[in-house]
């Protein structure tokens, strides 16, 4: 199948970023995302693709919701690609709300397993999935933050873990996006109390890495910490 939505993938999810079979599903998901990001073509081709693939994705997400395993990397990547590349009008508000729990579950999974990625060369391929997860979250926090209001208490600790990791240089782009999200979430219009509850923890954790070996990370950390200090 050209789409990473099948039951075989679910079987590869005990620790997806270490499982080559699981990582293989990221490739067709990336190809699908490339198709969605094309800007030219006929006026309704994107709508037709979404109309045909969205029911398959939603069915898969419902099946995976009953599992205690981490999110399947293929369908997780497709969720993030759709949230990044497709407008709210075309996806529909109800579908977006059904997709967001998978996105957040993926965020949590990666935040808790960065040490695995750092220690295993095969697992670094999972950084591509993390990149698109963070890109989708950035878009949601900017455009429709109300869609993730109930998840803010989970999002902030996960972003903090992703922001304060001392991983290799290849992780730097993801770390910068995580720091950006950590800044954006402070402006959430409906989660002021949840944000303030995390203030002390966030500022303390960021203070620990102000001497990060990367200059660009140090600058970003100082900026984001100052934003949180002034809440």
Give the model's pLDDT for residue 177. Answer: 96
Nearest to 179 by CA among 137, 127, 133, 217: 217
Could you tell me what percent of the chain has a pLDDT over 70? Answer: 88
Instruction: Express each pLDDT in 175-189 by its tens digit.
Output: 999 999 999 999 999
Q: 154-178 as b/e, with b when 16 or more CB fall inside 10 Å?
A: bbbbbbbbbbbbebeeebeebbbbb
Q: Which two tokens stand for residue 200?
A: 């002390």
Give the model's pLDDT for residue 25. Answer: 80
Give the model's pLDDT for residue 33. Answer: 85
Any idea which residue has 């490739």 for tokens? 27
Per-residue pLDDT of the chain (231 residues; tens, 9 = 90+): 444 444 444 444 556 777 777 777 888 888 888 888 877 766 688 788 888 899 999 998 888 887 777 888 888 999 999 999 888 888 889 999 999 999 999 999 999 988 777 666 666 777 888 999 999 999 999 999 999 999 999 999 999 999 998 777 788 999 999 999 999 999 999 999 999 999 999 999 999 999 998 999 999 999 999 999 999
Q: CA 186 to CA 199: how far, in whole Å? A: 10
Residues 6+ apart with CB under 8 A from 139: 83, 84
Contact 33, 84 (CB under 8 A): yes
Give the model's pLDDT for residue 68. Answer: 77
Contact 114, 167 (CB under 8 A): yes
Give the model's pLDDT for residue 8. Answer: 45
């Amino acid at each position: 199948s050209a789409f990473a939505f099948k039951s075989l993938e679910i079987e590869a999810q005990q620790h997806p970023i270490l499982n080559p079979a699981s990582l293989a599903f990221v490739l067709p998901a990336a190809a699908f995302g490339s198709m969605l990001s094309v800007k030219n073509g006929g006026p309704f081709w994107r709508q037709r693709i979404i109309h045909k693939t969205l029911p398959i994705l939603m069915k898969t997400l419902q099946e995976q919701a009953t599992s205690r395993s981490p999110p399947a990397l293929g369908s997780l990547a497709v969720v993030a690609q759709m949230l990044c590349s497709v407008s709210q009008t075309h996806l529909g508000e109800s579908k977006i709300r059904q997709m967001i729990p998978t996105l957040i579950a993926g965020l949590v999974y990666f935040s808790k397993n960065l040490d695995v990625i750092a220690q295993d060369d095969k697992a670094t391929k999972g950084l591509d999935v993390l990149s698109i997860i963070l890109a989708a979250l950035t878009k949601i926090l900017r455009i429709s933050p109300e869609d993730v209001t109930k998840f803010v208490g989970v999002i902030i600790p996960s972003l903090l873990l992703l922001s304060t990791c001392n991983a290799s240089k290849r992780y730097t782009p993801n770390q910068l996006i995580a720091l950006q999200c950590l800044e954006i979430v402070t402006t959430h219009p409906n989660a002021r109390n949840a944000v303030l509850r995390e203030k002390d923890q966030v500022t303390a954790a960021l203070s620990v890495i102000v001497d990060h070996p990367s200059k660009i990370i140090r600058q970003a950390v100082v900026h984001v910490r100052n934003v949180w200090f002034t809440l």
